[in-house]
Structures are given as C-alpha cells and as structure tokens.
Amino acid sequence: MTEVPHEPPTPEGLLDDLDVDPALATAVLEVEAHLAGDGWDQPARLYALVDTGALVRQEPVLAAQMGLDASSEEGSLTAVEQDQLPPDVPLEQVLETIVWPHGVTGCVAVVERLVLPPDVDGQVPEDPAEAEQFASNHPDRQEVRIVAGVTRDGSTYCALRLRAHDDDQSVVGGADLVPGLLRLLQATLEETTAGPGGEDGMTEEHA
C-alpha cells in the first residue's frame, strides 16, 4: 500500500465551499494532484482515508518517513492506496464487494470515464458494451478523471479533470458532482468489520 504525500496548496477557490469538509476536500485534491503527474489512461484506484493523528500514533516510523507529526497534522486525513483493482471488473462492481474496518475514516476512488453532452442522452444504447462503443466513437466525447471521496460522517467531495483542459487551474471541485459513485462509496462504510488486525486494520475486502 502506498501513502499519498501531502501536496502544495491546491488551485484557488476549490476549498471555498462552506458546506465541504476541508479535511476530505484537501485529501481528494491531494490524490488528484498526485495522479495528475502520471498522465492519462491510468487504471481505477481505491484509497483508504485514515486520520493522520491516529496514523502518527499507531505507525510512528511510517509517519516519520512521510514527515508527519501529530501536532501539525491534527484534523487532517492521509490517503493510503490499496492493492491494484481487478482490471476486468468495473469499479462500481468492485465497490459492492468492499467493507472497510473501523480504523478507516473514509475512502477515495479514482476512475477515468468518457462523458457525453446532455443532448445525446436519448441516443445512448442500453447495452453496456454498445453504450461504451457509442461513447468512444462520439465526436463530442470528453475524457474525464473523477476523484471522489466520502467519510463516515456523510461528507463528500469530488474533483474532476478534463483531458482537454489538463491543467491544475481547470480542476473542478464540489460536494456532489458524481452522486452515483458517491453513494457506492458511502455504502462501503455502512457496515464495518474488524480485519485480521482488529479494529485498527486498514481495510478488509469481501468478495
């Protein structure tokens, strides 16, 4: 598992929404900025969000390697990347099999998608394979990277980056930009089971 380093300040305005949990929004934007450096055509990813203060107390050696300390990071969240997801299974199906233990405060999912303008909604085939081909061939398609995060207290935040506008200042952030994905992520936190290491275990996946 890989920890996402805490990044420099995010684009101006993305944390100005008073209805957004700043710790969650910062964690989502850090993940987005971290992945942006690796370019496009990346696989879907899943991260556990852990309280940074708890991480410092429970994993002092790891925290020291990351340059974290309890006082400076109090109230913040650290994203810990999980094992690679199955490449042949849609992210939505993977999320339906996951249960996070109590030691996990929230989670973040990353996925790249093709989006189409609203005026073509009635033209999209119902068959998933045909719909994917339709989107791939549509001249007005847009490639977007979605980074969506949730916490146990119900907070949500998303960051979207279009491939056609691939710069930090064009990242769009908001609490409910991808409601369907956010609902799936929230469901992974509703039932909690202690993993092999007890309640402090990072994650547990049930197939």
The mean of the pLDDT values for the chain is 78
Q: What residues contact 198, with CB distance under 8 A and at least 6 apart?
A: none
Phi, psi of 22 (to 5 degrees): -65, -35
pLDDT digits (tens, 9 = 90+) for 45-81: 999 999 988 888 888 887 777 777 655 566 789 999 9
Task: Sheet containing 142-151: give its strands across.
Answer: 2-3, 77-81, 45-51, 106-115, 142-151, 156-162, 172-174
Strand partners, 107: 48, 150
Handedness of CA 86, 92, 96, 98 (dihedral sign): positive
Containing 172, the helix (H) or strand (E) segment is strand 172-174
At 106 the three-state DSSP class reads strand
Q: What is the pTM of this model?
A: 0.76
- 8 A C-beta contact, residue 108 and residue 28: yes
Name the most confidently modeled range: 79-88, 103-112, 162-171. 103-112
- The DSSP H or E segment spanning 25 is helix 22-36
- Give bridge partners of residue 32 from the DSSP assignment: none
Percent of the chain with pLDDT strictly greater than 70? 68
Q: How far apart are CA 178 and CA 111, in angstroms?
A: 11
pLDDT band with cut points at 50, 70 and 90 for residue 199: very low
Per-residue pLDDT averaged across 145-168, rounded? 95
In whole angstroms, what is the distance from residue 59 CA to residue 7 CA?
20
Least confident of 12-16, 30-34, 69-73, 153-157: 12-16
**Which own/partner contact pairs does 18-22 have at CB distance under 8 Å and 24+ positions apart?**
19/175, 20/155, 20/157, 20/174, 20/175, 21/151, 21/153, 21/155, 21/157
